[in-house]
Structure 1
Amino acid sequence: MIYFDNSATTKPHDEVLHTFLEVNKNYFANPASIHAFGVEVNELLEAARNQIAHIIKTKPEHVLFTSGGTESNNFAIFGVAKENKHIGKHIITTEIEHASVLEAYKTLEKDGYEVEYLSVDNKGVISIDELRRKLRKDTILVSMMHVNNEMGAIQPIEEAAKIIHQHSRAIFHVDAVQSFGKLEVQFNGDAGPDILTISGHKIHGIKGTGIIAFQRKLNIAPLIVGGGQEFGLRSGTVPVPQAVALAKACRIATEHLQENYAKFTKWRDHLMDFFNTFGDHIYLLSTKEGAPHILSFSVRDLKGEVIINALQKRGVIVSTSSACSSKQKKTSHVVEALNVDSHFKEGVIRISFGAKNTEKEIEQFKEIFKEVMKELKGV
C-alpha cells in the first residue's frame, strides 16, 4: 500500500507507541493523587508539558492537553468569546477554515456574535488589507489556520499578527494542526499568535491527543469544570500516557522538520510537473508557494470518488479534500472559495505526504496514475 493521506491521519511512530504503552504499564497512577506514586506520575506529566512548551516557546503553565485539534479549536473560540463578550462580540475568521472553526463561529453567530469572513484569492491566501479593514475596537477574536488542510495554502501569520495586535485588542488564534511539525510553528511576540492549537495524530502521534497553548495568560472560559485539572481550564483526570506520547511525537517532528520539508518540497514539485504533462485534463489547486506536504489537483469532468477507487484498486490511498467532510455529497467550501471551474469542482483529490513515505513510492504513483488516466480518460 502507498499511503498518501497523511493530512487525514498519520501512522504513529514506533517510538511513540512504545512510550504510550510503557507509561500505561508503569505509570498508571492518577497524577492528581498526593501519594508518592501519584507525585511521580505528575512529574512525568509536567516533563511532557515542559518539553512541548520549550518547542513552541511559551511557559509550561500555558500548555494544556486536549483530545485533539477539534476540541482545541472549540476551546479557543468558545473560551475567548464567552470570557470577553463584555469587550465586544465582533469576531473574524476566513472562508476556508476547518469545520471545527467554522461550525464554532456559526454557533456563536446564533448566540448574537457578529461574524465576518475573510475571502481568499485563487491561491487560497487572505488579503492583509481586508483583515485591516475589518478589524474594529470591539473585535475580540480572529481565528485563522496556518496551513489549509485541503490544498495547503499558507496564511501570512506574522503579518496578520502584527496588524491584529497594532489595530485591535483581539486575541489571535492560529489553528496549526496542519502546519506543526512541517513548518516552523512557535510563539513570537506581536509577530505571532496568542493561541496555538495542535493535534497529535497529524504528526505520527496517537489519536486523541492535542494541545491548546497560550503565549501569555489570557481571559478564557474553562472548557470543562469539575476537579480543576489543567490550571482549572479543563477538568478531568489528565491521561498521562497520551500527554507523554504527544511530547515524544512533537520532539521527533521538530527534530526532522528541515529534512522532511526538503523531501516533501522535492516530491510535490516533481508531481506538479508530472501533472502538468496532462495539459487541461488536470487542474492544480495547490501552488508551489503552499505547504510542501499537501498537493491537491482535479481531473476534468470526473468525480473524486471515481479516481480514489481506481487508485485504491492499485494500492494507492488518497482522499477527496478534507477527510472530516469527504463523505458528504457536496462541493467543499474551500473549492467554492477558490472559484474552481465547474468542470473540476467534483474531481478534487488530495495527496498528502508523511514521514513514512519514500521517493520510490512517488515514482510508483506516477506509473499507477498514468494507468488510471488511460482507463478513465483515455489519455
Structure 2
Amino acid sequence: MIYFDNSATTAIDPAVLKTYTDVATKIMGNPSSLHNLGTVAGRMLEASRKQIADLLGKAASEIYFTSGGTEGDNWILKGVAFEKRVYGNHIIVSSVEHPAVKASAEWLATQGFKVDFAPVDSNGFVKLEALAALIKKETILVSVMAVNNEIGTIEPIRQIGELLADKPTISFHVDAVQAVGKLDVREFLPERVDFATFSAHKFHGPRGVGFVYIKKGKKLQPLLTGGGQENNLRSTTENVAGIAAMAKALRMVLTDSEAKLTKLAAMKEVLLKALGAYPDVVVFSQQANFVPNIITFGLKGVRGEVLVHGFEAHEIYISTTSACSSKAGLASSTLTAMKVSPKLATSAVRISLDESNNMAEIEQFLTIFKQLHAKFQKIQ
C-alpha cells in the first residue's frame, strides 16, 4: 500500500500511540477532581500544555485544548464575533478557507454579521491590496489560513499581520492545521496573530484532539459551557491521554524538521517534473511559496474521483479535494476561487506526502499513472 493522503489524516506514530495507551491506562483520574488521582491527571494535562507552548514559543496560559480543527475554527470565529459585536459586525475571511471557517462565517452572516471574502490570485494567494480595501471601521476579525489544504499555497500571513499592525481592534485568526511541520512557527504565528487553530491528526497524533492558541489579553466567548474547564472557556472533561499524545507528536514532528522538509521537496520535484511532461496534465501546486508535501493536478477530461479510484485499484491512495467535502463530489472550492474552469476543477486530485514516504513509492505512483493515462486516452 502507498498512502499519499496525509493532508486528510496522518497515521498515528507508534511512539505517540504508546504515550496515549500508557496515559489512558495509568492515569485514570479526572483532572478536575480534588483527590490525588485527579491531581496526577491535572499535572499531566498541564505538563502537556507547557510542552506544546514551549515548542511554539508561547506561554502555557495561551494554549487551550479542543477536539480538533473544526471545533477550533468554529469556536474562534463565533466566539470572537459575539465577544466583539459591541464594537462592530464585519468579518473578513479569505475565499479559499477550509469549510470549518467558511461555513462558520456564512452562519454568522445569518446572525446579523457582515462577511466579506477576500479574493485570491490565479495561483491561490490572497490579494493583499484587495484584503486591505475590504477593511472598514466595523471590521472586528480577519481569518486567513496559513497553508491551503487543497493545493498547498503558503498564504502571506506575515504580510497580512503587517497590514493589521496599526489596527489593534481587529482580531487576526490563522487556521494553522496544515502548517505544522511544513513551515517555521514564526511564519504562521508571527506576533500579530491573535488566534490560531491546530489538529493533532495532521501531525501523527490521535484523531479527535487539537488545541487553539489565544494570545494573552484577547477575549472570546465560549462555544461550550458547563463545568468551567480550560479557564471557563471550553467546558468538558479534557482528553488527557489524547492531549499527552498530541504533545508528544508535536515534539516529534518538529524534530529534525529541516531534513524532513528537504526530503519532501525532493520527492515533490520529481513528481512535478514527471507530471509536467504530460500535455494534458495541469499542475496547480508549484514549488515556490507552496509547501513541499502537496501536489494538486488535473488530468483533462477525467473526473478526479475516477482517477482516485483508478489508483485505489493499485492500492495507491490519493484524494480529490478537502477530505471534509470530497464525498459531496464538489469541485475544489480553492480552484473555483482561483477562477479555474468548473470542468478542470472537477478533474483535480491531490497527492499529500509525508516524511515516511520515499522515492520508490514516487516511482511506483508514476508508473501506475502512465498506465492509467494510456487507458484514459484510449477511452477518450
What does residue 101 of structure 1 align with?
A: 101
Opposite residue 104 of structure 1, the aligned amino acid is S
Measured after TM superposition, the shift of residue 215 of structure 1 is: 2.3
Measured after TM superposition, the shift of residue 356 of structure 1 is: 2.1
Opposite residue 287 of structure 2, the aligned amino acid is K
Corresponding position: 1:288 with 2:296: no
Kindly provide the CA deviation profile for residues 2-44 of structure 1, in whole angstroms up to 9, marking residues without a partner as x.
0000000010000110000000000011111111221111111
Q: What is the 5 A alignment of 1:295-334? A: 295-334=295-334
Opposite residue 21 of structure 2, the aligned amino acid is L
Secondary structure of the residue that 2:158 maps to in structure 1?
Answer: helix
Opposite residue 303 of structure 1, the aligned amino acid is R
- Aligned-partner Cα distance in 2 for 1:7–1:101: 17
Does the 8 A contact of 2:225 with 2:233 survive in 1? yes
Opposite residue 180 of structure 2, the aligned amino acid is F
Does the 8 A contact of 2:119 with 2:131 survive in 1? no
Secondary structure of the residue that 1:327 maps to in structure 2?
Answer: helix
What does residue 242 of structure 2 align with?
A: 242
What does residue 65 of structure 1 align with?
A: 65
Kindly provide the CA deviation profile for residues 68-116 of structure 1, in whole angstroms up to 9, marking residues without a partner as x.
0000000110110010001100110011100000000001001111111
Does the 8 A contact of 1:137 with 1:169 survive in 2? no
What does residue 131 of structure 1 align with?
A: 131
Kindly provide the CA deviation profile for residues 206-256 of structure 1, in whole angstroms up to 9, marking residues without a partner as x.
100100112222111012111111011001111100110010011011113
Secondary structure of the residue that 1:165 maps to in structure 2?
Answer: coil
Identity among equivalent positions (%) equals: 36
Opposite residue 170 of structure 2, the aligned amino acid is A
- Cα RMSD between the aligned structures? 1.5
Measured after TM superposition, the shift of residue 167 of structure 1 is: 3.5
- CA 1:355–1:187 in 2, change beyond 3 Å: closer, same or farther? closer
Opposite residue 283 of structure 1, the aligned amino acid is V
Kindly provide the CA deviation profile for residues 317-373 of structure 1, in whole angstroms up to 9, marking residues without a partner as x.
000011111111332221211122355222100000113212211111111111111
Q: What is the 5 A alignment of 1:104-115? A: 104-115=104-115
Q: What is the 5 A alignment of 1:219-258? A: 219-258=219-258
Secondary structure of the residue that 2:164 maps to in structure 1?
Answer: helix
- CA 1:2–1:188 in 2, change beyond 3 Å: closer, same or farther? closer
- Aligned-partner Cα distance in 2 for 1:345–1:89: 33
Q: What is the 5 A alignment of 1:1-379? A: 1-167=1-167, 169-186=169-186, 191-279=191-279, 281-289=280-288, 290-378=290-378
Secondary structure of the residue that 2:44 maps to in structure 1?
Answer: helix
With 369-378 and 204-213 compared, the bigger mean Cα shift is at 369-378
With 181-190 and 343-352 compared, the bigger mean Cα shift is at 181-190
- Aligned-partner Cα distance in 1 for 2:331–2:76: 28
Aligned length: 378
Secondary structure of the residue that 2:196 maps to in structure 1?
Answer: strand
- CA 1:364–1:242 in 2, change beyond 3 Å: closer, same or farther? same
Opposite residue 285 of structure 2, the aligned amino acid is S
Opposite residue 91 of structure 2, the aligned amino acid is I
- Aligned-partner Cα distance in 2 for 1:135–1:55: 33
- Aligned-partner Cα distance in 2 for 1:317–1:192: 38
Measured after TM superposition, the shift of residue 189 of structure 1 is: 8.3
Does the 8 A contact of 2:179 with 2:188 survive in 1? no
- Aligned-partner Cα distance in 1 for 2:263–2:306: 29
Unaligned runs of 5+ in 2: none
Does the 8 A contact of 2:209 with 2:239 survive in 1? no
Secondary structure of the residue that 2:166 maps to in structure 1?
Answer: helix
Secondary structure of the residue that 2:172 maps to in structure 1?
Answer: strand
Does the 8 A contact of 1:165 with 1:190 survive in 2? no
Unaligned runs of 5+ in 1: none
Opposite residue 234 of structure 2, the aligned amino acid is R
Measured after TM superposition, the shift of residue 192 of structure 1 is: 3.8
- Aligned-partner Cα distance in 1 for 2:217–2:18: 34
Does the 8 A contact of 2:95 with 2:334 survive in 1? yes
- Aligned-partner Cα distance in 1 for 2:294–2:256: 17
Measured after TM superposition, the shift of residue 199 of structure 1 is: 0.4
Opposite residue 112 of structure 2, the aligned amino acid is G
Measured after TM superposition, the shift of residue 121 of structure 1 is: 0.7
- Aligned-partner Cα distance in 1 for 2:155–2:188: 16
Tell me the TM-score normalized by structure 1: 0.97
Tell me the TM-score normalized by structure 2: 0.96
Does the 8 A contact of 1:187 with 1:215 survive in 2? no
Which ranges of 4 or more aligned residues in structure 1 deviate by more than 6 Å? Answer: 187-190
Measured after TM superposition, the shift of residue 190 of structure 1 is: 6.4
Opposite residue 92 of structure 1, the aligned amino acid is I
- Aligned-partner Cα distance in 2 for 1:288–1:138: 38
